[in-house]
Amino acid sequence: MKYEKRLEGDDVVFILHGLIEVRIPKKFYEKCRQRYGEEGTISFCPYKSIYNAITKRRLYYISKESNVPLIGHNAFGIIDRGTNLLQVRPITGCNLNCIFCSVDEGISKTRITDYIVDLDYILEEFEKIVEYKRKYCESIEAHIDGQGEPFLYP
């Protein structure tokens, strides 16, 4: 796993892939590290908080185990508008901050959450939807897009 580590106030902070900020209070970090090792602590420490390191919003990791469906939300997942085109949105947030942004994805705006979808989960759900749509469409296109900047996806 590629990450940077630093101390900040009362937290040990890990930055994964330049994007995912994992904060663990120092008082719990050492106990977790002894139990899980350093990389295991990032994954399993129950006292961690996760943020988008660019937008500074809380970041929610959407995996299959989370039971959050990938159809039905406009900001992440898979969007089917009833054509042969599927919009695939693996991440929210944007590294820019345009004053005209209609989806409020930039930095220092009013939104308080970001989302990132597990790669295996989004691929699995995409295949299911394609399988269903094949009955009605000869060819199906996938556009990897987002309300924000899809190239932030690690």
Binding site for ligand SF4 (CB under 6 A): 94, 96-98, 101, 103, 105-106, 148-149
Q: Which is nearer to ligand SF4, 70 or 94 (CB)?
A: 94
Tokens of 128: 């299911």
Shortest reach from residue 41's CB to ligand SF4, in Å: 33
Shortest reach from residue 92's CB to ligand SF4, in Å: 9
Shortest reach from residue 149's CB to ligand SF4, in Å: 6
Q: Which is nearer to ligand SF4, 63 or 95 (CB)?
A: 95
Per the DSSP assignment, residues forming a β-bridge with 14 are: 5, 22
Shortest reach from residue 78's CB to ligand SF4, in Å: 19
Spatial separation of the C-alpha atoms in residues 146 and 53, rounded to whole Å:
18
**Lookup result for tokens 């929610």:** 60
CA distances from 146 to 55, 115, 116, 152 (A): 15, 11, 11, 10
Through-space distance between the first and last CA atoms of the chain, rounded to whole angstroms: 12
**Lookup result for tokens 């009605």:** 136
Q: Which is nearer to ligand SF4, 38 or 149 (CB)?
A: 149
Q: Which is nearer to ligand SF4, 96 or 123 (CB)?
A: 96
